[in-house]
């Protein structure tokens, strides 16, 4: 089981970025969350298979059509931080 935290910057709030992230994560069988940050970026926690997390990372570099990703930071994370599903908040 692998876990990664992503911090995504750019035009990523108000453009269905979190909902699109949840769709991709669920399709890939990942648990975790996507949450807006007060600074305009989005936090994403992904827990699951390493290849699935890499696939989500590739999607996060693009995001949904309305988004513009200028920054994608990947950090190690604790798998215990994730719940049973992938949620948005």
Active-site residue (options: 18, 22, 31, 41): 18
CA distance 86 to 27: 10
Catalytic residue among 11, 22, 35, 36: 36
Q: Is 22 a catalytic residue?
A: no
Q: Are 6 and 44 a contacting pair, CB within 8 Å?
A: yes
Catalytic residue at 36? yes
Total Cβ atoms within 10 A of residue 69 = 17
Catalytically annotated residues = 18, 36
């Amino acid at each position: 089981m692998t876990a990664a935290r992503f911090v995504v910057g750019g035009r990523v709030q108000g453009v269905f970025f979190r909902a699109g992230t949840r769709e991709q994560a669920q399709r890939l069988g990942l648990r975790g969350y996507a949450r807006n940050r007060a600074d305009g970026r989005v936090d994403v926690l992904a827990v699951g298979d390493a290849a699935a997390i890499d696939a989500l990372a590739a999607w996060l570099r693009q995001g949904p059509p309305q988004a513009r990703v200028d920054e994608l930071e990947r950090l190690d994370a604790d798998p215990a931080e994730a719940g049973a599903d992938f949620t948005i908040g």
